[in-house]
Structure 1
């Protein structure tokens, strides 16, 4: 059985509002796929549809070739963590894992294995979840997702609430999982963590795929990043030379021309440069801001679509 996530022409509307608009992508075994986008871009809705929690309007989302609802004993095939704060607050961490293990027909020894894996102590496992920090809830949620030893993981903001040591732990865990052949779909606002761990990246904005490909493909864009004493004058000079430039967040310009060309135009126009470097060194944050600059919803999604709770940063 091929353990892939396949999304084809997926669309979801809420009245006149389109939350997901003709989205298609594939998450392959042995890879961590980073799912990026501004708030309200459609990430959580897409992941909920994949996990069978929200019906699609049109198109399809399958895991291992079938819809999630048709997967036999799904917890042993697909591990899901979409909201660590949605766990039963009145139960203990151990009770939550025990009930999941019973549902999946797993030995109780698996509960202890997972508690140890996510570093929840015996004392902590006996506390009620209402007394857990967000970071502890995330660890418990990851333990629950991994309990059935699935081949696919779907995680929405799993680092939310984790301290730096916890984030490093999660990164190592997911990298090892993928290296053993597992398939990971990971949504996160921590761009550096995605840059470190992801093999492939999907960027979504206003419900549409803006860009997708391997990390190297997306980060090795041609062109130059330049900052001048007068960016406006440089933009005019570049335009006169037939070179298109785009303002960057925080100042400066991005252009598809090589740094040498940009430098010659600036020198000819007598414009001193503060910074000039190849675009590929911009990093994931710069790429993300450029790609999503025109697709920010600025809160419109929360007003138009049903609320989807995500745990707040601790």
Structure 2
């Protein structure tokens, strides 16, 4: 559905995106992940042909530069910073953007409003909406022409935890319905919840391309498990884990154990098999 080959974007002497190549299959969700300044937003804007760039981008076989109008019909975009008119209602906003998209008169917004749970807010002014509702409105605008592709730039960056979870549920339902997605984020939890593949960018370069469940191995992360145990279970837990060669130490009302990527389950299974009860645990 999307092919990016040797994408490079320079601002003077600064290279924001450096020789980036990747592809996105139909129905796949791909995350651009990295710290601020890694090149995520620049890559997204190149995908939308908002910046001139070096390299090639094709969308459903169409050249993103030479056939930009045709490409825009295939793509819905949700920006990080919203720029709606606060004095317009939700209904007026949708009508305004529907006219810009040249949708036929009498367009029925009802199914879209119900899908995004905006029906009860249809007469509210945009300025009265919470951040989460404004983001849902932005998603509604992106979906007006039912495009097969959604591109989202840090879509939950300004949302609180509850609004973020609600928005991710909506995105998962759209993915299940067959939408192809490319989104940027620096939140690891939303990447693992939504993405089929993660592209880790550093200084504009692609350093990892992997499914979310392989990130730990690819990056060679070490995880610390904090296990909270009954007092009587602490010494047996220490003996069990030391016997497996794991670096473990007592920590308050439990133990702390350092585990290699993919070995968290091994720790819990070993303690279960040894009859050690675990009250709770946290991951660092």
TM bucket (normalised to shorter chain) is 0.7 to 0.9
Distance 2:156 2:223 in 1: 34
Q: CA RMSD in A?
A: 3.1
1:281: Cα distance to partner?
4.9
Contact 1:9 1:22 in 2 (8 A): yes
Classify the secondary structure of the residue corresponding to 1:33. strand
Does 2:212 correspond to 1:215? yes
Q: Residue 100 of structure 1 aligns to a residue in which SS?
A: helix
- Tell me the distance in 2 between the aligned counterparts of 1:222 and 1:279: 9
For residue 10 of structure 1, report the CA deviation from its aligned partner.
Answer: 0.7
1:112 maps to what in 2?
110
SS at match of 1:280: coil
Matched, 1:276 2:276: no
Deviations 1:218-260 (A, max 9, x none): 3345978387xxxxxxxxxxxxxxxxxxxxxxxxxxxxxxx99
Aligned counterpart in structure 2 of residue 133 of structure 1, from 130, 137, 140: 130
Mapped partners of 2:160, 2:86: distance in 1:
22
Distance 1:224 1:83 in 2: 29
Matched, 1:65 2:61: yes
Equivalent residues of 1:9, 1:23 under 8 A apart: yes
1:264/1:44 CA distance change after superposition, 3 Å: closer
Residues in 2 aligned to 1:224 and 1:163: alpha-carbon distance in whole angstroms:
28
Question: How far did 1:90 drift?
Answer: 4.1
Matched, 1:15 2:6: no
Runs (5+) with no aligned partner, structure 2: 225-240, 249-254, 265-284
Deviations 1:122-170 (A, max 9, x none): 4x33333334332222111111111111111101122234444443333
Structure 1 residues 34-113: aligned runs within 5 Å: 34-56=31-53, 58-68=54-64, 70-72=67-69, 76-102=73-99, 103-106=101-104, 108-113=106-111
CA distance in 2, matches of 1:61, 1:140: 28
User: Is the 1:221–1:280 contact (alpha carbons within 8 Å) kept by the matching residues of 2?
Assistant: no
Name structure 1 gaps, 5 residues minimum.
228-258, 267-272, 283-314
SS of structure 1 residue aligned to 2:181: strand
Instruction: Decide which moves more: 102-111 or 42-51.
Output: 102-111
- C-alpha displacement at 1:174, in angstroms? 2.3
Q: 1:104 to 1:278 in 2, by over 3 A?
A: same
Mapped to 1, the partners of 2:72 and 2:86 lie a distance apart of 21
**TM-score between both structures, scaled by the size of structure 1:** 0.66
**Contact between 1:71 and 1:77, CA under 8 Å: does it hold in 2?**
no
1:304 corresponds to: none
Q: Is the 8 A contact 2:30 2:182 kept in 1?
A: yes
- Structure 1 residues 265 and 59: alpha-carbon distance in aligned structure 2, compared to 1, 3 A threshold: same
Maintained 8 Å contact 1:31/1:182? yes
